[in-house]
Amino acid sequence: MTKQLTPLNPSAAPATWLGVMGGGQLGRMFAHAAQQMGFKVAVLEPALDCPASHAADQLHSADYTDVDALAKLAAQCVAVTTEFENVSAKSLAFLAERTFVAPSSSCVSIAQDRMAEKRFFIECATTSGVFPASHKEINSDADVDAVSDDLLPGILKTVRMGYDGKGQVRVKTRAELHNAYANMNGVACVLEKMLPLAYEISVLAARGADGRAVVYPIAENVHRDGILFTTTVPGPNISKESAEKAQAATLAVIEQLGYVGVLCIEFFVLTDGSLVVNEMAPRPHNSGHYTIDACVTSQFAQQARAMARMPLGDVRQHSPAAMLNILGDIWFEGKSDEAREPAWDKVLALPGANLHLYGKDTARRARKMGHITFVAATLEEAQANLRKACDILGIAP
C-alpha cells in the first residue's frame, strides 16, 4: 500500500515551486501547464538558451551533476521531476534525500538501460502478459559469434543512450552484425530480433503518490528514419481487445514499478495481432502531445498533479486527434542550406489546427522544432487536415 502524502496546493505567497531536470521542449510544456495551475517552475539545465528557459520562472544554469545547483533546486522546490530519462540517476537520488522526486531514481535507472528494462518487462510478464522481443546482450565479438541464427535479421542497439533512431542499426547477416558492433566502438549493445510489425502503439499512463493510476486512450504511431512522424488517437487499426490488453499491461508495469508521475510504454502490434512490449519513457512523451488539445487533462498537467500529490485528472479524450511532428527540414527547400520560415498562416487556416513551436532559435534537419495537433469531430477529418498541412509544408504524407 502506497503511503498517503499530503497534497501540495499551489500558492502565490510564498510561491509553491516545482523543479524540472532538463530544459528541452518537454520542460517548456511542463512549465506552461504547471504555471496554469498556479505553480512556479525552476529548471536545472546547462544551456542558457534552452526551450524551457523561455517559459520557466527560474533557470539554474548548471550541469545535471552539480551538487551545489542540485542542493539549491531541492531547497527551492517541493517536488522535482525529469524531462528526459538520461539525467543522472545519482542526481535524482541526491535530490530525493532533500525533497520529493517523481519519478524516482530507481524507476529512471531501469529506463536508462535497455537490458535492465527488458529484464524488468520479463519480470512483469506474469501480470502484464506481454513480453519483449527475443534478444541477446552483445559485449564482445565472441557474443556476436554466439548469436543464434533465429535472431537475424535484427536491430543492434546501444544498451545506454540512443533515441530518435540514433544508436541503432538494422542487420541482416552475422557479417553485418560484426561490422555494426565494431562501429559502436565497444559500448554494450543488445541485438533484438526483427518482428513482422503491423504498426506501433504507445500507451500513456499516470500514477499518483496514493497509488491511483489512470491510462489514456491508445495512440497509434508512424515513424520515419527512427523519429516519430505522426500520432493518431484513437488508434485506427488496433482492436478493442488489443487496446485493453496494452492498457492493462501498462497499468501492471506502472504498479510494479511503484511509479509516481507520467509514464509512456511503446508496444509493437504484430501482423498476427499479438503484442510485444518495446520500451518505456519515464516522463511525458512525444506521442502524448495530443493530450494538450484533445484531452481534459494534458500529460503535462498530469505530471504536475502527480508531483504535487494532488488528485489525478480526467484522461477522457473529447476530440479525435492527429498529430504531426515538425522537424527542421521544412525550413529548407530542397537541398538549400538557406532557412526560410514555413507558411504557418496557411497551416493555421486549416480547421482544428493547433500549432506548438518549441522556441528553438536554429532549425536543423531532423531536429524536432514543434508539432501540430489537428482535432475534429471525426478522426477522418483530423487526418484529412493533417494531410493538407503536409502538402502546405512540403512533407511527403
Task: Tell me whether residue 162 is annotated as binding.
Answer: yes
Task: Tell me whether residue 114 is annotated as binding.
Answer: yes
Beta 17-21 vs 79-82: how paired, if at all? Answer: parallel
The residue with cell 486549416 is 350
Task: Tell me whether residue 235 is annotated as binding.
Answer: no
Encoded amino acid at 99, one letter: T
Task: Tell me whether residue 164 is annotated as binding.
Answer: yes
Task: Tell me whether residue 166 is annotated as binding.
Answer: yes
Task: Tell me whether residue 356 is annotated as binding.
Answer: no
- Phi and psi (nearest 5°) for 389? -65, -40
Q: Which of 55, 109, 297 is nearest to 20 (CA)?
A: 55
Task: Tell me whether residue 25 is annotated as binding.
Answer: no
Q: Which of 220, 207, 210 is nearest to 5 (CA)?
A: 210
Distance (Å, rounded) from C-alpha 292 to C-alpha 277? 25
Task: Tell me whether residue 193 is annotated as binding.
Answer: yes
Instruction: List alpha helices for 258-377, DSSP H.
Output: 291-294, 299-307, 344-348
CA atoms in the 13 A half-sphere facing the CB of 317: 24
Angle at 295 between CA 294 and CA 301, to 5 degrees: 120
The three cell numbers of residue 339 are 532557412
Distance (Å, rounded) from C-alpha 85 to C-alpha 87? 6
Task: Tell me whether residue 194 is annotated as binding.
Answer: yes
The residue with cell 483530423 is 382
Task: Tell me whether residue 278 is annotated as binding.
Answer: yes
Distance (Å, rounded) from C-alpha 135 to C-alpha 292? 36
3-class secondary structure, 278: strand
For residue 129, what are the contacts with CB-CB under 8 A and spacing of at least 6? Answer: 245, 248, 249, 252
Task: Tell me whether residue 346 is annotated as binding.
Answer: no
Burial track 263-276 (b if 16+ CB lie within 10 A, e otherwise): bbbbbbbeeeeebb
* DSSP class of 1: -
What is the distance in angstroms between the CA of the first residue and the CA of the last residue of the chain?
A: 48
3-class secondary structure, 121: helix
Provide the annotated binding site for ATP. 114, 157, 162-168, 192-195, 200, 223, 278-279
Provide the annotated binding site. 114, 157, 162-168, 192-195, 200, 223, 278-279
